[in-house]
Structure 1
């Protein structure tokens, strides 16, 4: 029963051997004909409109996405663009700080305003809610913080509500104490900014450490609702002030850029101004808390 299968397999092997013996063999110096590939699209001929209308899959297949990324990186590393970005951020920050100082001065030195705010704390809670909502919108929604003039409008609302909160807090304190805290904060901010620019140590490479510090401040903020005596103590206030200094240096190096591990996109000028403003206001609050315990 198995003989036909064996004979069939034997004949197949003989036919294969004969074909290999008489099949034409290529010569030693003979090369196989090259396979013509389609000519890739010229990168120089790719206009901005073509790039904007071309889907990402087509860019990846044609190889033009590398050119676009290189141009983007070179533009971000351009010193003129980076300096313009830094000037824009510090200009916005200066306006924010001047407005906040004006509001605080009105709440501290103008008695009718001070009495009105202290007797209508509902406005303060409303400002707190609006401040938190706008902060989440700017940080989490990219279209909000990058679309002009929506980003500036949201930043102005955040600055106004934050100024009201700081002014209300300052209205319950002595005016000389508030003035001393503002002076100490100004000196510290200038010194820390100069250190962040001049130092060779890259704080932007310590992203994991900064996340840990954020978690510490978050836990302390939650503990303030349950054990305010502990969080308002002098050692905790000093610790929070030191952490605020590290955050200011970290954010300053993100904005300055250069030879840093990380740097902000030049289109994120609103987010950069927001981070520096929050750092300065956080440092001011901790210094006020320290001076309340010391003086």
Structure 2
């Protein structure tokens, strides 16, 4: 019986070593020397997950695909440049579409007469515009989940374009064209300034929040005091504040050494913010030009 037990133990020990075609598998090789110290350090600092993160970072594959490297931040140049390209590409499409709608409402006479005869179109567009803006601003699902975020942004862009088109249909075409040209020059100049200036406008977040509250108050007062719309000093002041908001949001998009920046996943919200800044400047420039017309 003792010999039988010894034979069973011997068979178990033989089975413990993996075999392939009658040959034992070779002993796994240790990690390369240039990775061994850093992997050990990472394992001590962050445990198993830290070691796996470092393996992924150094190009070693993760066979079970259960670990996702979460160490990537907006400071990474590739992520930042991709984010900036995506935001400016979306805004460019928005602006081109808006300019096309404005031109259509100005130069297509049947459409121009139709929207002037039925101002309810502007009211419906304004309501939808505000609802979509609240959805994107307040609910993360509507600004991060694809393609819901792009659908909401498209609806907002369409309604805003209709609002601008209806408003432009009551103005002289030359005034509108001049306003678009002045706005383009202002946005280009402010963008260059925001990129190269060493002053961090994002650090003054409290000041811009106060100005934003002032924007909301004045916009609410215009309902009961329509003369504010044509008031030249207020229009000039609001145009200046709009320029500062554009610089602030541009630095939030650019990131880098600024105190605050957008999350890379917030590209739709960043594009919406930049688009609203440009539209706001256009509106106040048109008000100023209309005053001198």
CA RMSD across the alignment: 2.0
Q: 2:153 touches 2:268 (CA, 8 Å); kept in 1? A: yes
The number of aligned residues is: 240
Match of 1:106?
Answer: 104
Match of 1:238?
Answer: 236
**Pair 1:129-2:135 in alignment:** no
**Deviation of 1:106 (Å):** 0.4
**Deviation of 1:119 (Å):** 1.2
Q: 1:204 touches 1:253 (CA, 8 Å); kept in 2? A: yes
Q: For the residues of structure 2 that align with 1:177 and 1:102, how far apart are their CA atoms?
A: 16
Moved more, 41-50 or 151-160: 41-50
Match of 1:191?
Answer: 189
User: Could you tell me the TM-score, scaled by structure 1's length?
Assistant: 0.78
User: Deviation digits for residues 85-105 of structure 1, max 9, x if unmatched?
Assistant: 000101000000000000000
Match of 2:245?
Answer: 247
Match of 1:257?
Answer: 255
**Deviation of 1:276 (Å):** 0.6
User: Could you tell me the TM-score, scaled by structure 2's length?
Assistant: 0.78
Match of 1:151?
Answer: 149
Q: For the residues of structure 2 that align with 1:286 and 1:269, how far apart are their CA atoms?
A: 26
Match of 1:206?
Answer: 204
Q: Give unmatched runs, 5+ long, in structure 1.
A: 1-38, 53-66
Match of 1:15?
Answer: none
**Pair 1:227-2:233 in alignment:** no
Q: Give unmatched runs, 5+ long, in structure 2.
A: 1-44, 54-61
Q: For the residues of structure 1 that align with 2:96 and 2:112, how far apart are their CA atoms?
A: 19
Match of 2:41?
Answer: none
Q: 1:220 touches 1:231 (CA, 8 Å); kept in 2? A: no
Change (3 A) 1:112 1:202: same
2:171 partner SS: coil
User: Deviation digits for residues 272-291 of structure 1, max 9, x if unmatched?
Assistant: 10001000001000000000
User: Deviation digits for residues 129-170 of structure 1, max 9, x if unmatched?
Assistant: 111111111111101110111110110000000000000000
**Pair 1:42-2:44 in alignment:** no
2:48 partner SS: coil
**Deviation of 1:50 (Å):** 5.4
Match of 1:117?
Answer: 115
1:88-103 aligned at under 5 Å gives the runs 88-103=86-101
Match of 1:170?
Answer: 168
Q: 1:223 touches 1:231 (CA, 8 Å); kept in 2? A: no
**Deviation of 1:128 (Å):** 0.9
Match of 2:179?
Answer: 181
User: Deviation digits for residues 215-242 of structure 1, max 9, x if unmatched?
Assistant: 1111111111122213531000000000
1:266 partner SS: coil
**Pair 1:284-2:270 in alignment:** no
Match of 1:35?
Answer: none
Match of 2:12?
Answer: none
Which entry has the higher C-alpha Rg, 1 or 2?
1
Match of 2:76?
Answer: 78
Q: 2:74 touches 2:255 (CA, 8 Å); kept in 1? A: no
